[in-house]
Amino acid sequence: MSYSLNTIILEPLSKKKPKSAVILCHGYGGDGKDISILANYWRAHLPDTIFICPDGPEQCTASSSGFQWFDLIDQAPDQVLSKSLIAENKLNQLIDEVKDKNNLSANQIIIGGFSQGCMISLQTGIKRKDKINSIIGYSGRIIDIEHLGKNIISKPNIILMHGDIDQVVSVNSLLEAKDFFTKNNYKIESKIFKNCEHRIPTEGSSLGLQFIKKQFNS
């Protein structure tokens, strides 16, 4: 089975038809293999779920060995938004492919990611007409609050997690996002990890798994 983006595919361990799907998006300069480490941990506890871990659509401008969802180097906010809209279309296409190829409804799909992968997941998930189940975000932010505020279409459940000493994406980004989603009547959960930098701690992996199981069983 192939998709429009180069993708690590982890089929259900039950070897049965998938009952759900989780799409995980890597951070800036990473790739699908990086984020599939998280998927492999969750997979053992979700035997009927297919995990999709795509490479970003572009070669990373800062690292020839990695990928990006959109360029972040020396870009003005309007340029970042413009390029993120292209990536949003790519991720939307992938979501539709995962849904159609596996005979799933959008409500059986959770998307999420780390850092830039979190950013594109939030923007894409909120603007979809075909509402996905939920969004999981680690160490990310809203790309453009004004744009997102004007383009809210659906309201999937959301969990956001962040390290309190993150020097790459400030923890204030989580607080700003939580405020935005709360004001717009989203069901949102959040967790700030103490003494944690720009990474996903073990506690974050466990909380993400708990969230997924709760959403798919609700």
Read off the tokens for 8.
């690590």
Q: What's residue 72's pLDDT?
A: 84
Whole-number Å distance between alpha carbons of 176 and 132:
23
In whole angstroms, what is the distance from residue 24 CA to residue 38 CA?
9
Cα–Cα distance between 189 and 125 in angstroms, integer? 16
Give CA torsion, residues 200, 203, 208, 210, to 10 deg.
170
pLDDT in tens, the chain (218 residues): 789 999 999 999 999 999 999 999 999 999 999 999 999 999 999 999 999 999 999 999 988 889 999 998 777 889 999 999 999 999 999 999 999 999 999 999 999 999 999 999 999 999 999 999 999 999 999 999 999 999 999 999 999 999 999 999 999 999 999 999 999 999 999 999 999 999 999 999 999 999 999 999 97
The label of the residue with tokens 């790739």 reads 31
Task: State which amino acid sits at residue 146.
Answer: E
Q: What is the pLDDT of residues 102-133, one digit of tens each?
A: 999 999 999 999 999 999 999 999 999 999 99
Residue 87 and residue 144 in contact, taking contact as beta carbons nearer than 8 Å: no
Sketch the domain layout of the chain as residue ranges. Answer: 7-217
The number of angstroms, rounded, from the C-alpha of 13 to the middle of its chain's C-alpha atoms is 22
CATH class of 7-217: alpha beta
Q: Which DSSP letter does residue 115 get?
A: T
CA distances (Å), 2 to each of 50, 94, 124, 179, in order?
A: 14, 10, 21, 38
